């Protein structure tokens, strides 16, 4: 039942212990110590690795957060730069367009072709405005200038003011320059625009400048008629000038429009409208213009008031008696 210890092979210490059942078990201490030591070392290494992995994950998360912040800030800055560039570009484009528009309307060279005309040409066109054309098979030439029509409109304004002064119309608060200018320019521009629109519907070959020139030179007959009839007050004379002078200028415009319009119905509508407006405007200026202006003045300023006059006062009878008594007393005293 006893055991003995002795040197084992390879210098390893062995311990023999009694075992139940008559056997003995040999425990290798070196292997046990090595195994236990390696297990402790493995645990430490695993713990160290886990700690390093946690630190790396924390650093990675921090780096990712910084990258995201940097990307966010970069995108925000990029958007700000793009916004500023777009705003600057829009400002520059708007500035160029505004300067171009201002230079377009402020440049006098644009209007120069419409007023570059010789006085001889204006005189010839004034005479031609009273002579109807005979050839209507091909489009008649229309002067594309506005100097003559503009001067005729101002002449008509002056004639209207002259007629107001020579008539019995009472002028208050200065002259009636504004009313005359509004009437003449309103007819010239308004009727020209309306006739241009009607000509466009009737497929007539005419531009807006040509319509302004045609209607403006057509006012030459109105100027002659009104100037003569304002100084010579005979209704029969006015009707003669209205039919002859005004009719000739109207026929001239009608013939030019007929030569530039295709179709009988279109010609009838366009020329009939122009002739009616032109002849009725002359009747209005001669008969109704003064009354209408006077009615407007009465509406705005009130009815005509008679001027203030000094009236001699009646001396009462008592005052006469006092004066007579005083004069007698003075005479007796003297």
Task: Report phi then psi at 260, rounded to 5.
Answer: -110, 10
Chain-centre distance of CA 88, in angstroms? 24
pLDDT at 25: 41
Tell me how crowded residue 212 is: count the other CB atoms within 10 A of its CB. 24
pLDDT at 141: 87
pLDDT at 138: 79
Residue carrying the six token digits 């506005």: 146
Closest CA to 157 of 245, 235, 226: 226
pLDDT at 318: 46
Closest CA to 216 of 290, 135, 293, 122: 122
pLDDT at 6: 43
pLDDT at 81: 76
pLDDT at 12: 41
- b/e per residue 132-158 (b: at least 16 CB within 10 A): beeebeeeeebbebbbbbbebbebbbe
Q: Residue 24: helix, strand or coil by DSSP?
A: strand
Determine the Cα–Cα distance for residues 279 and 259; give it in Å rounded to an integer. 21
pLDDT at 56: 73
93 and 124 Cβ atoms separated by less than 8 Å: no
Per-10-residue mean pLDDT of the chain, 334 residues long, equals 42 42 42 45 65 72 54 58 79 76 64 85 92 82 90 93 71 65 93 94 91 94 92 86 93 92 91 94 86 68 46 46 62 61
């Amino acid at each position: 039942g006893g055991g003995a210890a002795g040197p084992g092979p390879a210098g390893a210490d062995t311990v023999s212990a009694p075992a139940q059942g008559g056997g003995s078990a040999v425990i290798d201490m070196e292997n046990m110590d090595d195994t236990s030591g390696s297990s402790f070392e493995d645990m430490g290494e695993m713990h160290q690795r886990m700690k390093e992995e946690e630190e790396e994950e924390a650093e990675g998360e921090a780096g990712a957060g910084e990258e995201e912040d940097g990307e966010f800030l970069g995108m925000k800055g990029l958007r700000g730069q793009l916004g500023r560039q777009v705003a600057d570009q829009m400002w520059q484009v708007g500035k160029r367009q505004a300067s171009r528009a201002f230079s377009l309307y402020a440049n006098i060279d644009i209007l120069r072709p419409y007023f570059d005309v010789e006085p001889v040409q204006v005189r010839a066109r004034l005479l031609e405005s009273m002579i109807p054309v005979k050839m209507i098979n091909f489009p008649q030439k229309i002067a594309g200038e506005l100097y003559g029509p503009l001067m005729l409109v101002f002449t008509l304004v002056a004639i209207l003011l002259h007629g107001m002064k020579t008539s019995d119309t009472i002028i208050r608060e200065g002259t009636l320059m504004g009313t005359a200018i509004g009437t003449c320019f309103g007819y010239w521009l308004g009727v020209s625009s309306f006739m241009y629109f009607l000509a466009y519907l009737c497929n007539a070959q005419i531009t807006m400048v040509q319509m302004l020139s045609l209607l403006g030179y057509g006012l030459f007959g109105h100027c002659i008629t009104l100037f003569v009839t304002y100084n010579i007050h005979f209704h029969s004379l006015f009707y003669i000038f209205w039919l002859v002078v005004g009719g000739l200028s109207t026929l001239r415009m009608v013939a030019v429009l007929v030569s530039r319009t295709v179709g009988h119905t279109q010609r009838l509508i366009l020329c009939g409208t122009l002739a009616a407006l032109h002849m009725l405007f002359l009747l209005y200026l001669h008969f109704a213009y003064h009354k209408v202006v006077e009615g407007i003045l009465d509406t705005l300023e009130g009815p005509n008031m008679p001027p203030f006059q000094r009236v001699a006062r009646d001396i009462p009878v008592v005052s006469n008696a006092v004066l007579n008594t005083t004069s007698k007393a003075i005479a007796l005293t003297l």
